[in-house]
A and B are shown apart, each in its own frame.
Chain A
């Protein structure tokens, strides 16, 4: 008897396993999908398609677009420049406090961008710990310049590069680098001729991710760099301003950013994320 009921029990669970998704899960999943899809549908429906060319071609939009490109590319480039050495140290050298350093580097990824902007002000603002001596010595003020926008974007995006590159460096067989050393290669030569070339996919993936994050950066930028057209007003900041004067313009610019995001996801999934 006991054996019989056990059997029906296991059969029942077998049937459940091979069956369709439980209704409750299905409903919740549908709500989740709608949460993402509805705003996108709304955006597409409210887009002034007839005026799209005119809005995106306007002086304000073009200026913001140009600035966004400069800022995001600069942020990705600086991110690579300082991100690779950090990733290399985290992956390859053993030092005290490595876990602490990794946590610190990843912090900008998790903390609210506005807080990042405030923190940047306390460091590089006119009365900041580095900003004040800089201003007093050279009369140079970072805040409210394009440099500030670049700095804010770099701050929030470079952890992505460190994350991707550290995983990439760890996936390279360390014996290859050791073998190179036995062939007379200095450490720097090994990095240049072995480590970096083998990191190709991760360098691209990290740069694209960081670039996309920098392109969408808003909170830290508006806090630290302000919203000045032609200097610090990137596309997201322009969207924010358009929203008060020309809501249709805001929608049009938003659509552009969604298109870029979509492109990044498709490009990364097809070419890098699946293979790395």
Chain B
């Protein structure tokens, strides 16, 4: 009893091919950059776009089967969608928006309004029920859209970039609400996002979609441990070095990446060098200095800070060294070291902090 997707779909000249499964009671994140085909897949699952090949099944019911000539129309699918941009009906009040899926299915107005009001109350919007969408804040509109997707008790909940339209504060609040709402929803939950933080905080598993193809699937830990592509490494937030592995001295080697060399501990399972290898370094294992450090770390790279991204009490600092490095430090460290964009810093890390994945 789950969602099974194995389709090829086309929008214009862009083709998406994806196969994955999702289990009820779990949240699967469909993670990928803009233009990877995420929205195309959302439309396929919602029934708005007919696939060219393959099938979609939900809890044993076939929604699409191109070979068998099956295509369930959008209105016949037990699917609730929170659309990108929300798509609240501007001419209807919040409660009328939430009641819409019930009214459309022929439920009488009083009953529909009662259920819609109940759901809005659960989401803390009892006093905003009669407001028009244009008068709602971003976070409120988001909750109305969520209520509208849930009200008809779908078997599949699709959330397309649910937090992207919100500012940072509303995002943190709504993310918490989304988490508890997702936890209570008994069906299949599919979160479509380009934001790895969203995926990691809300989803149990993730499917990475790049350029219309699934490049990797697994838990965040699995992907963090062994990202298969440069993009996967960037997304999941680890430093990623790809290059030829060369032996240096006893127990050590070097990954000669295009952007610069990294010294690593020699992997046990590799005999000779010369092969291409992947080095993975957690940003939290990188130490930043404002003067050249003297110590045991064998990798010391110098460069200017190009970006500081703050997430809660931690900051991810991008250093334009060769190769470029992302370090994760506390906000206190950023202040103590006086880090700004453009600050000249040294990034150091020990050779054995780099995980080497030799093919």
A: which residues have CB within 8 A of B?
A: 173, 175-176, 178-186, 189, 193-194, 197-198, 200
Contacts and interface: CB of A to CB of B under 8 A. Distances in A.
Those 7 A-B pairs whose CB atoms lie nearest each other, nearest first: A183-B101, A185-B104, A181-B74, A179-B87, A184-B105, A184-B104, A182-B74
B73 A180 contact: no
B46 interface: yes
Nearest to B79: A182
B48 A184 contact: no
Given A194-B89, A198-B91, A186 B81 contact: no
Given A178-B46, A182-B80, A193-B103, 11 more contacts: A175-B87, A176-B89, A179-B81, A179-B83, A181-B47, A182-B74, A182-B81, A183-B148, A184-B76, A184-B105, A184-B152
A182 B47 contact: yes
A178 B48 contact: yes
B100 interface: yes
Contacts of A200: 91
Given A173-B87, A194-B89, A197-B91, A181 B48 contact: yes
Q: Is the interface of A mostly helix, strand, loop or mixed?
A: helix
B87 A176 contact: yes
A182 B46 contact: yes
Q: Is the interface of B mostly helix, strand, loop or mixed?
A: mixed
Contacts of B73: 181
Given A176-B87, A184-B75, A193 B47 contact: no
A184 B74 CA distance: 7
A179 B160 CA distance: 12
Nearest to B107: A184
B90 A183 contact: no
A173 B90 CA distance: 11
B87 A193 contact: no
A181 B75 contact: yes
Nearest to A176: B87
Contacts of A183: 75, 100-101, 104, 148, 152
B301 to A, nearest CB: 47
B91 A184 contact: no
A116 B359 CA distance: 80
B77 interface: yes
Nearest to B84: A175
A198 B89 CA distance: 9
